[in-house]
Amino acid sequence: MNALLMENNRKNTILLAVLAVVLAVLPWALGGFFENGNSWLRAVDFALLYIMLALGLNIVVGYAGLLDLGYIAFYAVGAYLFAILNSPHLQAVLPAWLSHPPFLVMMILAAVVAGIFGVLLGSPTLKLRGDYLAIVTLGFGEIVRIFMNNLDRPVNITNGPQGINNIDPVQIGGYDFGRPIEFLGLTFEKIHLYYYLILAFCVLIIFVSVRLQNSRIGRAWVAIREDEIAANAMGINTRNVKLLAFAMGASFGGVSGALFASFQGFVSPESFVLMESIMVLCMVVLGGMGNIPGVILGAIIVSITPELLRDIINPLQMAIAGKRVVDPENLRMLIFGLAMIVIMLVRPAGLWPSKRRRAELKPKTKDIALQEKDSLQDAERNHD
Amino acid sequence: MTEVLLSIEGINKRFGGLHALSGVGLTINKGEIYGLIGPNGAGKTTLFNVLTGLYQPDEGKFTFQGKDLFRKKPNVVVESGIARTFQNIRLFANMTTLENVMVGQHVRTKTGVLGAVLRHPKAKAEEEAIRLKSEGLLAYVGIADRAEELARNLSYGDQRRLEIARALATNPTLLALDEPAAGMNPKETDDLKKLMEKIRADGVTILLIEHDVKLMMGLCDRIAVLDYGKKIAEGVPEQVKNDPRVIEAYLGVAPE
């Protein structure tokens, strides 16, 4: 048993080492393989941002079982916070100590502020479940976006639909991430630097996710998802534990949003539409709710596939018809949607489901009978 | 010397026009097995839900170990030392047997987000203690070999046992069991009886709802009888069994 565990450990270590090397050379490999390597690297950077978002939403939806359709709001909060504190837009009115905070302080701030928003938006929804919760969170998500869109009057905070631009790139230890840095004979451009920066945060968030999952807190979340009344009757303060799920999920979104703002150099309300919330939810569901590797896989697939299709459809059309028949943008979403439907039909528990979820969607007949009996007794009990 | 553990007085609970409990009062002494019986719809489960915080009573008094628990949330009630099982088993079906019991210890442990992420020595020790105690409890109720099984895949009898183990994980002073023997065969019922006697011997007071009158008469120290939301009798089993009002409630009155 111990020998087996050691063997497994060694295997995992080797696997991790290989993965680390691959990730480290990825930007250069992309540049070597593709002509437009930098646009691919950009897609990878965005995929990493989406992984963080998906892992955050996974806490709320996958563990605690709270269907949140407005999750992108927390991404927006992180992004706007970074934009306001790190751009010329509000420099004149911001107190000096608050403008351009040191990078780590900024990231902690983004996580905390987004977490507070998570609690604020989560607390009115505590008594809601399922569809009702989904509708209310959807509303909150839109409210946040509409605020961003309209907070240019009477006091200009968000600069309205025009968004905030000229956001300064990150500065760490005197290095400006906006300019190329020479190191070991290699030139690290902005896009490379951000790749490593975002990757580092992504690894951190994966680590936090794994640790939380296998803890007292993680178990309490899953217990609430399984049976909220029983969880409460076993001594779990369901209100606080649910709020904690909202806060943790939101803080992941805030970190991702702050990195997004500084990478992009520009934020506007358009980046935070409902479709984005749905996309992140798709990543979680498609990959496998509640399973960290599954969610990561889902995020990569959902964010990279459209880019992949864009690069394939045009040349394909040219080769077959000799001209552009349809706009690739339209076809891309069509194919993407079809692919999602097929995957959900073939693998309803997600591409890489957790043990739990797999069992859940393949109930044995005995279990179904038991559940029916349960709900019958529930109905009886309510009459008692 | 008997020591009062739990006492309620004048508990009223209405659901709309239905007066489910009217003026119910009773006391449970430390170390006894206290039974609650009554015909279907008498209000047993309602009273049970009031005592475990799931229902908020409309009026009355509810004290436990000198602490006021009137209209307190279930998690507060559990923290004060009352744990329960459910009539219609409510396990965390897609968690393993072991995890179910580990959840039960949530209320007695402290590790927060920071401890979980950093996994400092204190958090690590606590997690280890949770695991050890949970394994111990599974052995205690006799399902140690099913630890890694999903709770949904356990047999009916084992699910009942797991519910008891999960409730015991909260370190209760009073364990409230809602029809634990429902649907069990005589052999399983007998094993359950032994388990309850063992739990009592280990210093946990038991409140029990059960339909199996024979089991109740052999097991309980005192029994209360509910009918139409009122307590109609209370006392030692012999006394209750011969009470004319109880006989009337169960069998009706013979025409003169």
**pLDDT score, position A233:** 95
Token pair in block for residue B43: 């209000």
- Going from N- to C-terminal start, the domains of chain A cover 36-292, 355-384
Q: Do B87 and A237 touch (CB under 8 A)?
A: no
CB A216 to CB B127 under 8 A? yes
- Choose among B220, B229, B219, B235: nearest CA to B249: B229
Residues of A whose CB is below 8 A from B93: 226-227
Contact B90 A230 (CB under 8 A): yes
**Amino acid making up residue A292:** I
Nearest to A292 by CA among A62, A14, A48: A62
Q: Is B109 an 8 Å CB contact of chain A?
A: yes
Whether residues B152 and A230 touch (CB distance < 8 A) is answered with no
Q: What is the pLDDT of residue A2?
A: 56
Whether A289 contacts chain B with CB within 8 A: no
Helix orientation angle between A274-287 and A130-150, rounded to the nearest 10 degrees: 140
pLDDT in tens, chain B (256 residues): 588 999 999 999 999 889 999 999 999 999 999 999 988 888 999 999 999 999 999 999 999 999 999 999 999 999 999 999 999 999 999 999 999 999 999 999 999 999 999 999 999 999 999 999 999 999 999 999 999 999 999 999 999 999 999 999 999 999 999 999 888 888 989 999 999 999 999 999 999 998 878 888 889 999 999 999 999 999 999 999 888 888 888 877 767 6
Strands B174-178 and B205-209: parallel
Low-confidence ranges of chain A (pLDDT < 70): 1-6, 328, 332, 356-384
Q: Cβ(A27)–Cβ(A185) under 8 Å?
A: no
Record: contact B45-A381, CB cut-off 8 A: yes
Q: Are B26 and B234 in contact (CB under 8 A)?
A: yes
The ipTM estimated for the assembled molecules is: 0.93
Count chain A–chain B contacts defined by CB atoms under 8 A. 128
Of B89, B109, B166, the CB nearest to A216: B109
Residues of chain A found within 8 Å of residue B171, distances taken between Cβ atoms: none
Nearest CA in chain A to B51: A233
Strands B33-37, B205-209: pairing is parallel
CA B71 – CA B73 distance, rounded (Å): 7
pLDDT digits (tens, 9 = 90+) for A310-347: 777 777 878 887 777 777 677 767 877 887 788 888 88
Contact B91 A230 (CB under 8 A): yes
Q: Say what the pLDDT of residue A103 is.
A: 93
**Which residues of B, range 166-195, sit inside 8 Å of A by Cβ?**
166-167, 169-170
Give the Cα separation of A364 and B108 in Å (integer).
Answer: 35
Q: How many angstroms separate the CA of residue B243 from the nearest CA in chain A?
A: 25
- Residue B250 pLDDT: 82
CA distances in angstroms from B11 to A175, B44, B98, B176, listed in the order given:
70, 13, 37, 18
pTM for the model stands at 0.89
CB pair distance less than 8 Å for A377 and B88: yes
Q: Write the single-letter amino acid at A94.
A: L
> Which candidate in A208, A234, A252, A384 is best for mutational testing of the B interface (most B CBs within 10 A)?
A234
The domain locations on chain B are 4-81+172-251
- CA–centroid distance for A244 within its chain: 17
Shortest CA gap B256–chain A (Å) = 32
Residue type, A80: Y
User: In this complex, do B111 and A378 lie within 8 Å of one another by their Cβ atoms?
Assistant: no
Please check whether residue B52 touches A, CB under 8 A: yes
**pLDDT digit string (tens) for B12-64?**
999 988 999 999 999 999 999 999 998 888 899 999 999 999 999 999 999 99
Kindly identify which residue of chain B lies nearest to residue A239, measuring between CA atoms: B75
| A216 contacts in chain B (CB < 8 Å) | 102, 106, 109, 111, 116, 126-127, 130
Please measure the distance between the N-terminal and C-terminal CA atoms of chain A and give it in whole angstroms: 51
Cα–chain center distance at A169: 22
Question: What is the model's pLDDT at position A1?
Answer: 45
Phi first, then psi: what are they for B15, rounded to 5°? Answer: -115, 100
Q: Which helix (H) or strand (E) holds A312?
A: helix A292-321
Do you know the residue count of chain B? 256
Q: Under 8 Å CB-to-CB from A63, ≥6 apart: which residues?
A: A213, A218, A221, A222, A225, A245, A290
Name the strand (E) or helix (H) holding B233: strand B230-235
In DSSP terms, which residues pair with B222 in a beta bridge? B34
Chain B residues whose beta carbon lies within 8 Å of the beta carbon of residue A233: 52-54, 74, 78, 84, 86, 90
CA distance A126 to chain B (A): 15
Chain A residue with minimum CA distance to B75: A235
* Residue B223: strand pairing partners: B35, B235
Q: Which CATH fold would you assign to the domain B4-81+172-251? A: Rossmann fold (3.40.50)
Rg, C-alpha atoms of chain A: 23
Among chain B residues, CA nearest to A354: B94
Give CA–CA dist A195/A175, Å, rounded.
15
Strand partners, B208: B35, B177
Residues of A in contact with B84 (CB under 8 A): 233
Q: Is B124 on the interface with A (CB under 8 A)?
A: no
Report CB contact under 8 Å: B116, A218. Answer: yes
What integer pLDDT is reported at residue A360 of this predicted model? 62
